[in-house]
């Protein structure tokens, strides 16, 4: 797929399809990264929303199909895959979550499978989707939602909201604020405790979002660099080994996000006074 110089090619492939308000007051799609930046906070990355929702629908459809047709005597291949994922997540929840909450298991399974499917889009050759979208009159199209920091940060904020909610629900407002103010050094060092615990609390959603985004964006960028800088007849020699290695990264990043979510929510259900 020709897109001018290598720099223009790379810039095109890492730019989202952004819709928002232009500087002249009109609404529409951004054609450059500068235009997308000028649209500000209210702009939306349409491709990120589309592919994340599509993978979510695929996840729901696949699991429902397996649930409806599940068989003990003759399990299908998909049923075996789903059962394997379920057992892995259930074991992780049993090991890492020390409270009692029926939401944690389904939440952990949803996070792992959904993020895995979004990450899996990174294995689609980098030119296929942009080429098809350009034939349809769409200027830009990134198909890996987790390479958009807005998506990863949105997911981490959802986890953060659950942390705050269950922290207050389980410990009460006084207990929740008390942990921020009186730990780890006691009442005498309340200002120090408050700063340390607040920074630690805020760092959790940041670490969730930036770790996933950084790893997936770096992986996508390697594919784009290979396509932009390496002659076509040599691209498969580099992209195939990287894709095989990247399967591990894709799975590992989904697992890490899931495990950290379980651990953070477990901490929200615990009280320092009980230790």
Let me know if 119 is a catalytic residue: no
How far apart are the C-alpha atoms of 167 and 142, rounded to whole Å? 37
Q: Which two tokens stand for residue 146?
A: 């987790």
Annotated active-site residue in 101, 139, 158, 211: 211
Helices (H), the chain: 6-13, 33-38, 46-68, 77-96, 104-120, 128-135, 149-182, 190-229, 232-268
Annotated active-site residue in 207, 239, 266, 274: 207
Count Cα atoms within 13 angstroms, Cβ side, for 218: 10
Q: What angle do CA 161, 165, 167 make, to 5 degrees?
A: 115
Contact indicator for 271, 237 with CB cutoff of 8 Å: no
Dihedral, CA of residue 70, residue 54, residue 112 and residue 11, to nearest 10: 150
Let me know if 211 is a catalytic residue: yes
Helices (H), 183-231: 190-229
How far apart are the C-alpha atoms of 234 and 272, rounded to whole Å? 57
CA 270 to mean position of chain CA atoms: 26
Burial class (CB in 10 A: 0-12, 13-18, 19+), 103: exposed
Annotated active-site residue in 52, 156, 193, 215: 215
Let me know if 215 is a catalytic residue: yes
Give catalytic residues, as residue numbers: 207, 211, 215
């Amino acid at each position: 797929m020709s897109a001018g110089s290598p720099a223009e090619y790379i810039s095109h492939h890492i730019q989202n399809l952004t819709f928002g308000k232009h500087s002249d007051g009109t609404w529409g799609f951004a054609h450059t990264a500068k235009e997308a930046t000028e649209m500000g906070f209210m702009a939306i990355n349409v491709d990120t929303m589309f592919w994340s929702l599509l993978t979510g629908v695929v996840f729901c459809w696949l699991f429902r199909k397996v649930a409806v047709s599940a068989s003990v005597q003759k399990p299908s291949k998909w049923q075996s895959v789903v059962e394997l994922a379920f057992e892995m997540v259930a074991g992780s929840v049993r090991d890492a979550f020390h409270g009692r909450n029926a939401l944690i298991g389904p939440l952990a399974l949803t996070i792992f499978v959904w993020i895995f499917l979004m990450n899996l889009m990174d294995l689609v050759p980098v030119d296929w989707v942009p080429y098809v979208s350009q034939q349809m009159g769409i200027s830009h199209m990134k198909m890996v939602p987790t390479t958009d920091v807005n998506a990863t940060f949105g997911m981490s904020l959802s986890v953060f909201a659950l942390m705050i909610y269950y922290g207050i629900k389980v410990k009460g407002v006084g207990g929740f604020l008390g942990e921020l103010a009186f730990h780890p050094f006691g009442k005498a060092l309340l200002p120090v405790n408050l700063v340390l615990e607040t920074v630690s609390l805020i760092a959790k959603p940041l670490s969730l979002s930036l770790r996933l985004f950084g790893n997936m964006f770096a992986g996508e960028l390697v594919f784009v660099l290979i396509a932009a800088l390496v002659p076509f007849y040599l691209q498969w020699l580099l992209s195939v080994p990287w894709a095989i290695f990247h399967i591990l990264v894709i799975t590992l990043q989904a697992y890490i996000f899931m495990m950290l979510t379980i651990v953070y929510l477990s901490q929200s259900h615990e009280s320092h006074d009980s230790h």
